[in-house]
Chains A and B, each alone.
Chain A
Amino acid sequence: MRKNKGMDDIYIKKTLNGDTAAFKYFVCAYKDFAFSLSYSILKNKYLAEECTQLAFIKAFENLKSFRRDASFKTWLGRIVINLSLRQAEKKEPEPVEEMPENQIAFVEDSLEGLYEEERKKYITAVFEMLPPQASLALDLFYLKENSLQEIAGLTGWSMSKVKMTLARGRKSFYSKLNELLKTELKELR
Chain B
Amino acid sequence: MKADNMKYILSQKETPEPDGDFEDRLMARIRRRSAQMAVEKKYARLMYSFFALGLAFGLVLSLFMGNITIDIRDASFVVNRWFLQLPVVAILLFVFEKLYQTRRPGMRIEE
Q: Which residues of A contact B (CB under 8 A)?
A: 20-21, 23-24, 27-28, 31-32, 35-36, 39-40, 45, 49, 52-54, 56-58, 60-62, 104, 108, 111, 116, 119-121, 123-124, 127, 138-139, 142-143, 170, 173
Q: With A58-B109, A61-B109, A108-B5 in contact, is A27–B31 under 8 Å at CB?
A: no
Which A residue sits closest to B27, measured CB to CB? Answer: A24
Most buried by A among B25, B33, B106: B106
**Contact: B34 with A60, CB < 8 Å?**
yes
Contact A39 B15 (CB under 8 A): yes
Say yes or no: A127 contacts B109, CB within 8 Å.
Answer: no
User: Could you list 9 further interchain pairs (A-B, Cβ under 8 angstroms) beyond the known A24-B27, A56-B26?
Assistant: A28-B23, A35-B17, A40-B15, A49-B18, A58-B109, A61-B37, A62-B106, A108-B9, A120-B14
Let me know if A31 and B33 touch, CB within 8 A: no
CB pair B14–A111 under 8 Å, yes or no, is no
- Chain B residues in 8 Å Cβ range of A58: 106, 109
Interface residues of B toward A: which range?
Answer: 20 to 34
In the complex, number of A-B residue pairs with CB atoms less than 8 Å apart: 89
Residue ranges of B at the interface with A (Cβ–Cβ < 8 Å) = 2-3, 5-7, 9-19, 22-23, 25-27, 29-31, 33-34, 37, 105-106, 109
Are A32 and B9 CB-contacts (below 8 A) given A53-B25, A60-B30, A61-B105?
no
When distances are taken between beta carbons in the complex, the residues of chain A under 8 Å from B11 are: 142-143
In the bound complex, residues from chain A placing their C-beta under 8 Å from that of B34 are: 20, 60
Assembled-state Cα–Cα distance A35/B19 (Å)? 11
**What A residues does B16 contact at CB under 8 A?**
39, 45
Given the interface pairs A60-B30, A123-B12, A170-B6, the reply to whether A49 lies near B109 with Cβ below 8 Å is: no
Please indicate the chain A residues that have their CB under 8 angstroms from the CB of B29 in the complex.
53, 57
Minimal beta-carbon separation of A38 from chain B (angstroms):
10
